[in-house]
A and B are shown apart, each in its own frame.
Chain A
Amino acid sequence: MLTIAFSELVQIFRNRLVLVTSLVIPVAVSAFFVSRHEVFAELGGLGYIAAVVVFTVAAFGLYTTTVTTLASRRQNLFLKRLRSTAASDAGILSGLLLPITVITLVQVTAILAVFAGVTGTPANVPLLVAAVAATVVMMLGLGLATAGLTNSPEHAQVTTLPISIGTIAVASWVGLTGTEELTLLKRLLPGGAATELVGNAWDGGVAVPDSLVLLAPTLGWVVVAVALASRFFRWEPRR
């Protein structure tokens, strides 16, 4: 797995398009939110800004790169090549996705650290870690599922839009309006419960057991995504 991961890391840093979409754009958008935190905090609170940062990096960095990478590697038969070796399917996928996952975690950690430095530390760091981890796993799962429906890297520009835009929209909706109304709907939408959890972890004021329950919908989306991925994911291009 590490052999593939190292090779993938090299490829990410050599491909300018991936480098820009997975590194530069999420950081730039997050930097905007952090720099204008006083404006956005008035609208939805600091927790809202933290949630939007997490979903911006997870959607534009992790999710989009996952789909694009897998579609590209399948299209040029690199996946088939890797499957010609002794590497297992799980090892191949893990190796391909490990670098962008680590990059995402480093980005989120760094941006939130800067945000905390500017606005003050979050109320519950372990809960924030759990929320970020659940979000990352959910976006990875959705990335695998979407990759199954994506024929090429060019096609990925279209197929990734609903979930990447959708999750950020859900995060903004939940962050700005709270979950007092339409509670169930907001929590069941992908990213809704995770946004509320990030907000609770950052702002505090909610009992930890009540917040932990919010992990369930996010993990539920992981199960759905993995089920879809196992149904739709392909290792070779359609003939």
Chain B
Amino acid sequence: MSATAKRHAEEVTWPHCRSGAATAEISGMTSAPVIDVERLNLSYGDFHAVRDLTFHVRRGEFYALLGTNGAGKTSTLEIIEGHRTATSGAVRVFGQSPRARRAVRPRMGIMLQESGFSPDLTVRESVRLIGRLTERTDQVDRVLGVVDLTHKAGTKVSQLSGGEKRRLDFATAVYGTPELIFLDEPTTGLDIQSRDDLWDAVDRLREDGSTVVLTTHYLEEAQQRADRIGLMHKGTFHREGTVADLTRTLPSVIRFTLPVPAPVLPLQATRKNDGKFVVETFALNKDLHTLLGWAQDNAVDLRDLEAGPTRLDDVFRAIGN
């Protein structure tokens, strides 16, 4: 079952696992936006951190907010979380102001970019404190198990490594399986195993119907998981859409070197300073097939051949250029 089909199936079945108003709302309007941002602006004096930003996140969606440094994604996220007030525009979370904490916060989990735990409390005490304040119900031991911190339950936060603090942060965000989870740079400082464990936990939350909003500098994480991506630059969206939407505007690239002399190429190519030939194409399969056929027919050895679809990294670099 594909991830999308699986999610669709979950949307149909998972309301039986939840209770109260959330169930009624979900069963009634599965496509209603969980987050509604309209013409959002945020200024610090003369500096416009966010400009006229509009987007929506649907229930069950994995939405990635990406951007260059200083693009405004953390400011945007903090407004949606209710930590910051917009200069103008409207933000609704579950149809309400994100600053209506008592109404909104029990339904959302927030993993902050930086730790924010008291160094004198233990891991267990920290999870219990924040968990209780979210007004969701869960078992501290279960949550510690999810992030593999059970063996550190009695350790003071001041004695944790950076990666363990990130896992603790994640634990408080997912306490009680919230309907909406904000992950702000969640894997920064985590080793490979911890990253995999974290994403496995996120996958399980999604199977339970949770909506995820992610910011990260690890583009491959967004490329692999996000249903849609908002690509920010200088306070507003440079592009928004699926990975395919974002990458299809840039050509794929085929790189190779040729022996000298060589027959005339069947494709338009540019020769770079390092001697490599570069073919930019929107029809990667067809052109690669043509090139390989030409090489075989002419007994040409295509050295250092590289070819691949356009990646999110390429879209990012295009912004910078």
Q: Give the interface of A toward B (CB within 8 A).
A: 3-4, 7, 10-11, 14-15, 73, 76-78, 80-88, 236
Contact = CB atoms under 8 A, between A and B. Distances in A.
Interface residues of B, number: 24
Given A81-B112, A83-B83, A84-B81, A76 B133 contact: no
Given A7-B129, A77-B114, A80-B83, A85 B120 contact: no
A14 B132 contact: no
A236 B125 CA distance: 22
A43 B105 CA distance: 58
B101 A87 contact: yes
Nearest to A83: B83
A82 B120 contact: no
Given A3-B132, A86-B105, A81 B117 contact: yes
A77 B118 CA distance: 9
B162 interface: no
A80 B112 contact: yes
B161 interface: no
Given A77-B112, A77-B116, A88 B101 contact: yes
Interface in B94-114: 101-102, 105-106, 110, 112, 114
Nearest to A235: B83
Contacts of A236: 83
A87 B133 contact: yes
Contacts of B81: 84
Closest 3 CB pairs of A and B: A77-B116, A85-B133, A81-B116
A10 B110 contact: no
Contacts of B112: 77, 80-81, 84
A10 B133 contact: no
A86 B132 CA distance: 9
Contacts of B210: none
Interface string B125-148: 100011011110000000000000
29 contacts: A3-B129, A3-B132, A4-B129, A4-B133, A7-B118, A7-B121, A10-B120, A10-B125, A15-B120, A76-B116, A76-B118, A76-B119, A77-B112, A77-B114, A77-B116, A78-B117, A80-B112, A80-B116, A81-B117, A82-B130, A85-B130, A85-B134, A86-B102, A86-B105, A86-B133, A87-B133, A88-B101, A88-B102, A236-B83
A131 to B, nearest CB: 34
B115 interface: yes
Contact of A86 (B118, B121, B135): B135
Contacts of A76: 115-119
Nearest to B113: A77
Nearest to B157: A76
Nearest to A77: B116
